[in-house]
A and B are shown apart, each in its own frame.
Chain A
């Protein structure tokens, strides 16, 4: 119990379905997450996988309380944060960080890399923690003076990672962070995450639609389909003995880069 950094039970999110709202009266509710329960053990890398519209991003955003659930409990380190106010969340924010999908739109174009990393620390760009974070992600210290447009996609994503780890968080949510990258930058970012998880003892939730990447990085996987968890298993088990037909369908659809493996 004490070993779970997150314990989620019966998490529900629904939104008004404005496309079916009658002229008068309330819109019908559209269920995005239909009662989800799972745990994230401390130090684990949890993969969250599913097709588009399965609710994986909503799940991530609710977990870090960028969205409020309509029902259910989210225990973070034993404390229920499901309906905590903004002020109540504030002391916890530094312990929960996010890395976003598109590094170009999640970095302020008018801030240097150094100021970007220093901003959440309430420090200046010269703070030693900035150089340390850059070093962790394998960028030279002089990158602190660069602007996002001067960086490649892979380098920008490293800055996003540096900003997250500089806070020394207990938990990081990474939402599709390699899907916009070329294979070579993707490989670099994946290896970097593997290294950081091992070195800093991070707990990571990694949202992706790419099962090959999940297999590489994650220790445990939950498979989402239309707002429900259809399978929750250790990575090796999931890939070798998938239980749910949807998981098998997902696995079966991955194009393995080998022409002798027919579809």
Chain B
């Protein structure tokens, strides 16, 4: 099966200090599939999403590796061509719906601008499409909402707008970067169900960045567990929760409290596991230097 997104041996570092951020990351995402990227802060999960979108901070330098989108290596195309390709096929659902929307502009143009400016739609067809997607994410009175400003809406409504905006151009791949971290549990549930429903209806591939294993178990088919920029385990959700293989995966699961099982002992990630994971990370670096980095 050909994957829609295929990341092969992606390594990246911080230009100034040379600190390694990603270490030979391999990720494969078939058409219409959902993959979770999980790990603790600094593990590099958001970095992978940013690399795919081509919005890495300037200080981050990709050392080697390929990012194949629909068979095309994004590293090899010219920046303008890359923006056009990614703009047409990939969209982002960001973490914080308040900072992601421009506070001084109405909702409507914030959805349609991308369709008109980057994808060359007419204003009328973009506006029509915006109304369609707003209705699809269950926003009441979409015509009225299009004329409001972000501060007039609740957090959940704002996140719905960003989801609508992401799906507006019928992307083949969506990168969702912690899309529900800023929301209440009850709103989180609605938003996750909405993302899942839209994803399966449109057959969109989804790269879901999160630190919450509970969320992964509800939304994703497969997942990659990251530690210090290296993929520790690449597995299906069923296998991960039934029988995690890597010690770091086991430790992460053991550190997650469950309200259904309050008596279960809660274990912080033990130092030995961190040392083991660090050793693997060091080995990955050594292999990279040996082959001529």
Assuming the contacts A182-B211, A211-B259, A255-B212, asked whether A216 and B185 have C-beta atoms less than 8 A apart, the reply is no
Give A230-263 as 1s and 0s: 1 = Cβ < 8 Å from B's Cβ atoms. 0000010001000000000111111111111101
B238-A259 in contact (CB<8A): yes
Q: In the complex, which of the residues A188, A252, A253, A259 contacts B217, with contact meaning CB atoms closer than 8 Å?
A: A259
* Interface stretch (choices B22-30, B108-116, B249-257): B249-257
- A258/B266 in contact, CB under 8 A: no
Q: Are B40 and A256 in contact (CB under 8 A)?
A: no
Which residues of chain B in 193-216 are interfacial with respect to chain A, using CB atoms and an 8 Å cutoff? 193, 211-216
Known contacts A187-B257, A239-B259, A253-B185: A216-B217 contact under CB 8 Å: no
- Is A51 an interface position by the 8 A CB rule? yes
Judge if A4 is at the interface, Cβ distance under 8 Å: no
A215 contacts B by Cβ under 8 Å: yes
B153 vs chain A, min Cβ distance (A) = 14
CA–CA, A260 to B214, complex, Å?
11
Report whether A212 and B189 are in contact in the complex, using a CB–CB cutoff of 8 Å.
Answer: no
Q: Is B186 in the interface zone, CB < 8 Å from A? A: yes
Query: For window 241-293 of chain B, which residues contact chain A by CB distance below 8 Å?
Result: 241, 251-253, 255-260, 262, 266-269
| Chain A interface mostly | helix
Q: Which residues of A contact B260 (CB under 8 A)?
A: 256
Given A253-B189, A256-B260, A257-B253, also A184-B40 (CB < 8 A): yes
Task: Tell me, yes or no, whether A190 is within 8 Å of chain B by CB.
Answer: yes
> Do A190 and B251 touch (CB < 8 A)?
no
When distances are taken between beta carbons in the complex, the residues of chain B under 8 Å from A235 are 262
Q: A255-B217, A256-B217, A259-B238 are in contact. Are A184 and B259 (CB under 8 A)?
A: no
CA distance A191 to B213 in the complex (A): 20
Closest chain B CB from A192 CB (angstroms): 10
Interface residue total, chain B, C-beta cutoff 8 A: 36
User: Is B237 positioned at the interface, with any CB of A under 8 Å from its CB?
Assistant: yes
In the docked arrangement, what's the CA distance between A186 and B252, Å? 11
In the complex, which residues of chain B have a beta carbon less than 8 angstroms from the beta carbon of A182?
40-41, 211
Contact A184-B252, Cβ < 8 Å, known A209-B185, A253-B186, A257-B241 = yes
Q: How many A-B residue pairs have CB under 8 A?
A: 104
Residues of A within 8 A of B268 (CB): 184-185, 187-188, 191
Interface core residue of B155, B186, B218, B266 (most chain A CB under 10 Å): B266
Is A183's CB within 8 Å of the partner chain B? Answer: yes
Q: Complex formed: what's the CA distance from A250 to B259 in Å?
A: 12
| A70 at interface by CB-CB < 8 Å | no
Give the residues in chain B near A187, CB-CB below 8 Å.
255-257, 266-269
Total chain A interface residues with beta-carbon distance under 8 A: 36
Contact residues in B for A249 (Cβ distance below 8 Å): 186
B255 pairs with A250, CB closer than 8 A: no
Inter-subunit contact B184/A209 (CB<8 Å): yes
Tell me, in angstroms, the Cα distance from A85 to B70 when the chains sit together: 68
Picked from A253, A258, A260, the residue with its CB within 8 Å of the CB of B188 is: A253
Given contact pairs A51-B184, A209-B184, A257 touches B214 in the complex (Cβ within 8 A): yes
Contact of A216 among B237, B238, B253, B262 (CB under 8 A): B262
**Chain A positions within 8 Å of B256 at CB level:** 183, 187, 212, 257
What is the CA–CA distance of A187 and B212 in the complex, to the nearest angstrom?
A: 14
Which residue of A has the minimal Cβ distance to B181? A179
Contact residues in A for B217 (Cβ distance below 8 Å): 255-259, 261
Closest to A194 in B: B266
The minimal Cβ–Cβ distance linking A221 to chain B, given in whole angstroms, is 11
Q: In the complex the two chains form, what is the Cα distance from A51 to B22 in whole Å? A: 36
Whole-angstrom distance between the alpha carbons of A52 and B238 in the complex? 32
Q: Is A254 in contact with B214, judged by CB distance below 8 angstroms?
A: yes
Is there an interface contact between B255 and A184, defined as CB atoms closer than 8 Å? yes
Within 8 A of B (CB), among A175-208: 182-188, 190-191
- Which of B184, B186, B241, B259 is A259 in contact with, Cβ under 8 Å? B241
Residue of B nearest to A192 (CB): B268
B237 and A52 contacting across the interface, CB-CB below 8 Å: no
Q: B residues within 8 A CB of A252?
A: 189
In the bound complex, residues from chain A placing their C-beta under 8 Å from that of B192 are: 255
B253 to chain A, nearest CB (A): 7
Chain A residues near B (Cβ < 8 Å): 51-52, 153, 182-188, 190-191, 209-216, 235, 239, 249-261, 263
A-B contact pairs, 18 of them (CB 8 A): A51-B187, A183-B255, A184-B269, A186-B255, A187-B268, A187-B269, A190-B257, A209-B184, A212-B259, A250-B186, A252-B189, A254-B259, A255-B188, A255-B189, A255-B212, A257-B253, A261-B217, A263-B193
Interface residues of B (CB under 8 A from A): 40-41, 155, 184-189, 192-193, 211-218, 237-238, 241, 251-253, 255-260, 262, 266-269
- Known contacts A211-B259, A252-B189, A258-B258; 7 further A-B pairs (Cβ under 8 A): A184-B40, A187-B269, A190-B257, A212-B259, A215-B262, A216-B262, A257-B214
Which 7 residue pairs are nearest across A and B when measured between Cβ atoms? Answer: A255-B214, A184-B269, A182-B40, A253-B189, A187-B255, A51-B184, A188-B268
